Amino acid sequence: MSNLLEVKNLKKHFPIKKGAIFPKQVGAVKAVDGVSFHVRKGETLGLVGESGCGKSTTGRAILNLIQPSEGEVIYKGEDISHYKGEKLRKLRQDIQIIFQDPYASLNPRMTVEQIIAEPMRAFGTPKKEREEKIDYLLDVVGLSSYHKHRYPHEFSGGQRQRIGIARALTLDPELIICDEPVSALDVSIQAQVINLMEDLQKEFDLTFIFIAHDLSVVHHISDRVAVMYLGEIVEVGEVEELYANPKHPYTQALLSAIPEADPHLKRDRMVLEGDLPSPSNPPAGCKFHTRCPFAEEICRTEHPELKDVSTGDHQAACHLVKEVVGSNG
């Protein structure tokens, strides 16, 4: 399978400015700090990590919704990171994004019908086609055509998320960056939407970057998974291998924190202490060392790079994990 998208050393640093009249840059929030990965055509790459780890910023920087500070975003062989104007507009038909918080992007004065029609209107889809598509998409995301004339505030949190998904599907995109698309959905509808996304993926050869915090959902839908922490990828690999054999302590903690639907289970949970450090002042060395139960001296001083950690497609960035040579990943 060829790479549809390749991200190379992507960085997004948001300047922190002080002073009202002559603002001066006093620092930077390193939201994305040197991220590299590839996405093969037709696959789903899961991107997981705690809030603020930079997964959404990565998604937005790919689409140039925010201008990357550094790095390349190669889509179908072309660096799109500096696209502007008409080229960017065209690109945004190809690459769509489903947002995390649909309420913020749903205009409270527009009906559901108007909200879903909006992107099609912008790209000149004829009225009749628009109307058919609205009915189809409402059905597809688990709403009914009787919802068309209602306003966002009349829906519960989960129902609103579905409206956002319907809107993203309107322009038949090739790559969809899904930023927490099902996390607000209740499980029965979540299962339908996941099934639907998998169906649509097969049928239309769609490629997904699936950003989520629900590790069970990511496990189910992804072919490969990248785990992010403080703007970096700490582990990436083929999904079954990564879940069965997590190498990075952060991945291990994430996996052990999942609440499982089994009241008999009594587990030794690895509860991480503390909060995510500030991305404007990340810890030196391994950025995870302040919360890592295994940290040693070298972790406080030297930054670990991603290295092959099994003979499969599996890399991790941890000093304490042995490098495996002869990998084909």
- List interacting residues with other proteins (CB under 8 A): 49-52, 142-144, 146, 150, 154-159, 184-192, 194-195, 198, 213-217, 219-221, 240, 243, 253-255, 257-265, 269, 271-272, 275-276
* Rounded distance between C-alpha atoms, residue 237 and residue 59, angstroms: 19
Q: How far is the CB of 156 from ligand ATP (least distance, A)?
A: 3
> Which CB atom, from 95 or from 194, has the smaller least distance to other proteins?
194
> Which CB atom, from 20 or from 265, has the smaller least distance to other proteins?
265
Give the phi and the psi of residue 75 in degrees, each rounded to 5: -115, 120
> Which CB atom, from 118 or from 198, has the smaller least distance to other proteins?
198
User: Exposed (0-12), middle (13-18) or buried (19+): which is 196, by Cβ within 10 Å?
Assistant: middle
> Which CB atom, from 78 or from 186, has the smaller least distance to other proteins?
186
Q: How far is the CB of 7 from other proteins (least distance, A)?
A: 22
Q: How far is the CB of 73 from other proteins (least distance, A)?
A: 26
- Which of these, 320, 274, 321, 273, lies nearest to 297 by C-alpha position? 320
**Lookup: tokens for 155:** 């829906």
Residue nearest to ligand ATP (CB): 156
Q: How far is the CB of 115 from ligand ATP (least distance, A)?
A: 16
* Rounded distance between C-alpha atoms, residue 295 and residue 174, angstroms: 42
Tokens 């030297």 found at: 302
* Number of other CB atoms surrounding residue 267 within 10 Å: 11
Choose from ligand ATP, other proteins, none: what does 27 bind? Cβ within 5-8 Å by kind: none
Choose from other proteins, ligand ATP, none: what does 189 bind? Cβ within 5-8 Å by kind: other proteins
* Rounded distance between C-alpha atoms, residue 245 and residue 237, angstroms: 10
| Binding to ligand ATP, residues 105-164 (CB under 6 A) | 154-158
Tokens 């083929």 found at: 238
Its sign, for the CA torsion 174, 179, 182, 184, is negative
- Chain residues that interact with ligand ATP, rule: CB under 6 A: 154-158
